[in-house]
A and B are shown apart, each in its own frame.
Chain A
Amino acid sequence: MTVTESGSTEAAPVELVTLTIDDVEVSVPQGTLVIRAAELMGVEIPRFCDHPLLEPVGACRQCLVEIPDAGNGRGMPKPQASCTLEVAPGMVVKTQVSSPVADKAQRGNLEFLLANHPLDCPVCDKGGECPLQNQAMSHGNGESRFIDQKRLFPKPIHVSEQVLLDRERCVLCQRCTRFSEEIAGDPFIALLERGAQQQIGIADGEPFHSYFSGNTIQICPVGALTSADYRFRSRPFDLVSVPSIAEHDACGAAIRVDHRRGKVMRRLAGDDPEVNEEWITDKDRFAFTWSSQDDRLRTPLVRDPDSGELVPTSWPGALAVAARGLAGKPAGVLTGGRLTLEDAYAYAKFARVALGTNDIDFRARALSTEETDFLASRVAGRRPDVTYAALEAASTVVLVGLEPEDEAGTIFLRLRKAIKRGVKVVAIASHRTRGAAKLNAELLQVVPGGEAQALAGLQLGEQDIVLAGERLGQVPGGLTALTGLAERTGARIAWVPRRAGDRGAVEAGCLPTLLPFGRPVEDAEARADVAAAWSVQQLPATPGRDTAGIVAALAAGDLQAVVVGGLELADLPDPAAAAGALDAAEFVVSLEVRRSDVTPYADVVLPVAPPVEKPGTFLTWEGRPRQFETVLDTGALPDVRVLAGIAEELGAPLGVRTIGQARAELEELGLWDGARPAPAAAPPARGAGPVGTVTLDTWSQLIDDGRLQDGTGEYRATARPARLKANAGTLAAAGVEPGAAATLSTPSGRAVFIADVADLPDGVVWVPARSEGVHVRALLAAGFGDRVTLGPADGGEGA
């Protein structure tokens, strides 16, 4: 298990304590628990409640050891729980290895635990990977002396739609309740009743709706907590486990993927002390069925010119058609934010080498040129500066345009850990969210759009860190204020994008002004550098169009063709306009895992592999590379192979055909050490959005109906209810009763929500960006910071 005291590079001098365990003298750092000290010298003391990342509690009493000398010359009269006992100089510890007393105590305790434990092993999901089963074998008696009726509870109860609890299997170690309270800050489950009836439970009507509930299933040392998803699905021995990286956010959480017969059965948290320790969000754990849905693309499709239908075609045929369609036309590339670093690199190279353009952008969302400049000058091609460990060592962490609980679960848990060490969290937001409350965050309340001013007024020191989410890029002057703050105060800043591939796309050069690793397009030296590495004569020298520019140029006919990676039109600032632009485009090549809303406009659809079926690398928000290998070998092609195929047909070979070659080239290119572009001095003012009565604040909650969460019934049921939040005055001014349905509308459309009163500034409403069937961007063509009209719901439409 994880030993978490990795901290930072400076190693504080540790005071060592020398004690004797099983007649062996060992020296361990002061404050070490006896159970851990024994572990270090190779003696495994059986335990259930002890977990290195949780506070010691001594609940299960399994780790009893004999202490003939507590370090003061006197022995302890009875066996002691080694998981709550700190080492002391001169202490003598005798574990079950050398002490019959400890051995007998452990055997006795295990017999007690098993007295009420049902013989469920054949039907229990934990069977085969169960600490209780294993330790009953290694440290228990072969036979039970208990002949009475075991305590029975009615079979599993749902503590949430996803998490099931078999109370009779529980050994009351409280790992789950301690995790929920200490780590996640969601104390929805607790010990109820007393004596033989003692059990874990929830309050009436308060299900275990924590974003991190899946971790309790994994750390349960018996099979008491199981997931509805995985229940009775398979056995540990028929699973093949492969370490991988979660594809849902920019945190790069380590996961373990268990598969059987070409199908992923479950995902577990990996163990990476540097990144996610042993915890992952429920999204990382349960949302993996998206790539095996019925709309998965398996063969290339080409639009038949006569019938207008997409018809299955051979790979060589489809690549030839794609190349013929792209040849000679001015074309742009939209990659989306879900690509791995290698695939993003292939797109970046494809645009420059095969299409001869810098019209490439990964941002499938609202964006600004200010953001482009910020990414070029402050993000791309830099070594990790702010890391997870740095968050713990900071003095204040400021969150702006970022809701870590929803958008970056691993950062949220790290900050939860950090606040226990005295780190102060300041949230610049429209209201105090549940996540901010759990971080004990000081709220700097702003109206969406006012972040820049709030940043300009901040007083920070060099020990402070500002984490800026991608919404700050939509605030005019926001990122400029952030840069200014860093220069003014010396505080470190980090850009935390929402999607797993965003940071990788920045580094790979999927931006109109950037070549790989921060090389500016306009810098002749940088261009020559890349051209040499790519063995081409020259690269296009003028900066290209960004996503908005590409969409506008397609609509206007300035661009005639476009290559679209994995993006959703509904995420773009104006989905209808984007659809119109694709419709107007003469030739659309779509590289997709599943049929998407781009497919109807595509002339050639080329199926690509989802992350689980290919190797790759995600860059975390820190810039840390998180490499993973293929889990399922299905033969699906990565984007890099497909793009190489088109490029060859175009007569401009890409030079890389495999992930391995792309990795090697990236390695060879290395970081840019030349000059960086200075950010534009005056940020452009915000374009005129829809006119309305209130300002919209919105972001995607962790669990919503995003495309990467398709096919997960029980998990989706644990989503937070989609409520509109505004203060009482705002609601009253719009004529909306709290608890009643309210409408948000723009000229493009309307969306209906149930309204709740919350502590927002006047004239601001918050709604989840996507909730079951209600996609704010698609319905309203408005997003964060836009003006919308709030009114009572008149029609019968429900949200």
Chain B
Amino acid sequence: MSTLRETLWDPIAGFGVTFRTMFKKPVTEQYPKEKVPTAPRFHGRHQLNRWPDGLEKCVGCELCAWACPADAIYVEGASNTEDERYSPGERYGRVYQINYLRCILCGLCIEACPTRALTMTNEYELADDDRANLIYEKSDLLAPLLPGMVEPPHEMLISDDHHDYYRGKTLPIVEADS
């Protein structure tokens, strides 16, 4: 048996909540019309970074694939040659795929990366109506070329010694011809 209070007062009190809320600022996000920035360390889509001269940082070591708890990453390494160089040193990642149908965006891969080649961006719009599109290839994951970067393959522009890349050497500053 419900009490008199439950029968009469509670419905009115409920409308009170509705009434009060009418004067509050709405919290609804107007996604996708308005996009709200994520937290700065949000785990979003991955990115394969480049050295300042445009060479890839990825050496195809597969440690990311090894670390991945969801088995979402597939990597195949290959040798750089004199004519075709994609990264400093001997080895580069020839195939790099992340399957976002599997990825749980936990970030263990970027912890495993020994060259800081793999990091995560804040991009979170990872949805599609085609499963195949959600397997991101290397071309989809590579960071865009910034000014001064040259699309590989090309020779090492920072230094002839690949160790210098890891020591933080940057591109030699070339004075523009006046």
Question: Can you list 21 A-B contacts with CB-CB less than 8 angstroms, sorted by A residue number?
Answer: A121-B114, A122-B61, A122-B115, A123-B89, A123-B90, A123-B91, A128-B66, A155-B90, A156-B90, A231-B79, A232-B78, A232-B90, A232-B91, A233-B76, A233-B77, A234-B76, A235-B61, A235-B62, A235-B65, A237-B62, A238-B62
A127 at the interface (CB under 8 A from B): yes
* B contact residues vs A (CB 8 Å cutoff): 59-63, 65-66, 76-79, 89-91, 114-115
- Minimum CB distance partner of B77 in chain A: A232
Quick check: A123 and B65 within 8 Å, CB to CB? no
Which residues does chain A contribute within 8 Å of B115, judged by CB atoms?
A: 122
Distance of A127 Cα from B78 Cα, bound (Å): 15
Known: A232-B60, A233-B77. 20 other contacts (CB 8 A): A122-B63, A122-B115, A123-B60, A123-B61, A123-B77, A123-B89, A123-B90, A127-B61, A128-B66, A156-B90, A231-B79, A232-B79, A232-B90, A233-B76, A234-B62, A235-B65, A237-B62, A237-B66, A238-B62, A238-B65
Which residues does chain A contribute within 8 Å of B65, judged by CB atoms?
A: 235, 238
Which residues does chain B contribute within 8 Å of A128, judged by CB atoms?
A: 66
- Minimum CB distance partner of A166 in chain B: B90
Which residues does chain B contribute within 8 Å of A237, judged by CB atoms?
A: 62, 66
**Which 7 pairs from chain A and chain B are nearest by CB?**
A122-B61, A232-B77, A123-B91, A122-B114, A235-B62, A232-B91, A123-B59
Task: Count CB-based A-B contacts (< 8 Å).
Answer: 37
- Minimum CB distance partner of A235 in chain B: B62
- Minimum CB distance partner of A122 in chain B: B61
For the complex formed, measure the closest distance between the CB of B145 and the CB atoms of chain A, giving whole angstroms: 24
* A contact residues vs B (CB 8 Å cutoff): 121-123, 127-128, 155-156, 231-235, 237-238
Which residues does chain B contribute within 8 Å of A238, judged by CB atoms?
A: 62, 65
Which residues does chain A contribute within 8 Å of B59, judged by CB atoms?
A: 122-123
Which residues does chain A contribute within 8 Å of B91, judged by CB atoms?
A: 123, 232
Which residues does chain A contribute within 8 Å of B77, judged by CB atoms?
A: 123, 232-234
For the complex formed, measure the closest distance between the CB of B80 and the CB atoms of chain A, giving whole angstroms: 9
Distance of A121 Cα from B77 Cα, bound (Å): 14
For the complex formed, measure the closest distance between the CB of A166 and the CB atoms of chain B, giving whole angstroms: 9
Which residues does chain A contribute within 8 Å of B62, judged by CB atoms?
A: 234-235, 237-238
Which residues does chain B contribute within 8 Å of A121, judged by CB atoms?
A: 114
Distance of A156 Cα from B90 Cα, bound (Å): 10
Which residues does chain B contribute within 8 Å of A234, judged by CB atoms?
A: 62, 76-77
Given known pairs A122-B59, A122-B61, A123-B61, the reply for A235 and B66 (CB within 8 Å) is: yes
- Minimum CB distance partner of B71 in chain A: A238
For the complex formed, measure the closest distance between the CB of A236 and the CB atoms of chain B, giving whole angstroms: 10
For the complex formed, measure the closest distance between the CB of B104 and the CB atoms of chain A, giving whole angstroms: 19
Which residues does chain A contribute within 8 Å of B66, judged by CB atoms?
A: 128, 235, 237
For the complex formed, measure the closest distance between the CB of B34 and the CB atoms of chain A, giving whole angstroms: 42
For the complex formed, measure the closest distance between the CB of B102 and the CB atoms of chain A, giving whole angstroms: 15
- Minimum CB distance partner of B59 in chain A: A123
Distance of A30 Cα from B89 Cα, bound (Å): 51
Which residues does chain A contribute within 8 Å of B78, judged by CB atoms?
A: 232
Which residues does chain A contribute within 8 Å of B61, judged by CB atoms?
A: 122-123, 127, 235
Distance of A234 Cα from B94 Cα, bound (Å): 11
For the complex formed, measure the closest distance between the CB of B2 and the CB atoms of chain A, giving whole angstroms: 64
- Minimum CB distance partner of A228 in chain B: B79
For the complex formed, measure the closest distance between the CB of B112 and the CB atoms of chain A, giving whole angstroms: 10
Which residues does chain A contribute within 8 Å of B60, judged by CB atoms?
A: 123, 232
Distance of A156 Cα from B91 Cα, bound (Å): 12
Which residues does chain B contribute within 8 Å of A122, judged by CB atoms?
A: 59, 61, 63, 114-115
- Minimum CB distance partner of B93 in chain A: A232
Distance of A155 Cα from B162 Cα, bound (Å): 11
Which residues does chain B contribute within 8 Å of A123, judged by CB atoms?
A: 59-61, 77, 89-91
The interface centre, meaning the residue of B77, B89, B115 with most chain A CB atoms within 10 A of its CB, is: B77
Which residues does chain A contribute within 8 Å of B63, judged by CB atoms?
A: 122
Which residues does chain B contribute within 8 Å of A233, judged by CB atoms?
A: 76-77
Which residues does chain A contribute within 8 Å of B76, judged by CB atoms?
A: 233-234
- Minimum CB distance partner of A237 in chain B: B66
Distance of A170 Cα from B49 Cα, bound (Å): 32
Which residues does chain A contribute within 8 Å of B114, judged by CB atoms?
A: 121-122
- Minimum CB distance partner of A119 in chain B: B114
The interface centre, meaning the residue of A234, A235, A237 with most chain B CB atoms within 10 A of its CB, is: A235
- Minimum CB distance partner of B80 in chain A: A232
Distance of A510 Cα from B65 Cα, bound (Å): 50
Which residues does chain A contribute within 8 Å of B89, judged by CB atoms?
A: 123
Distance of A232 Cα from B76 Cα, bound (Å): 8
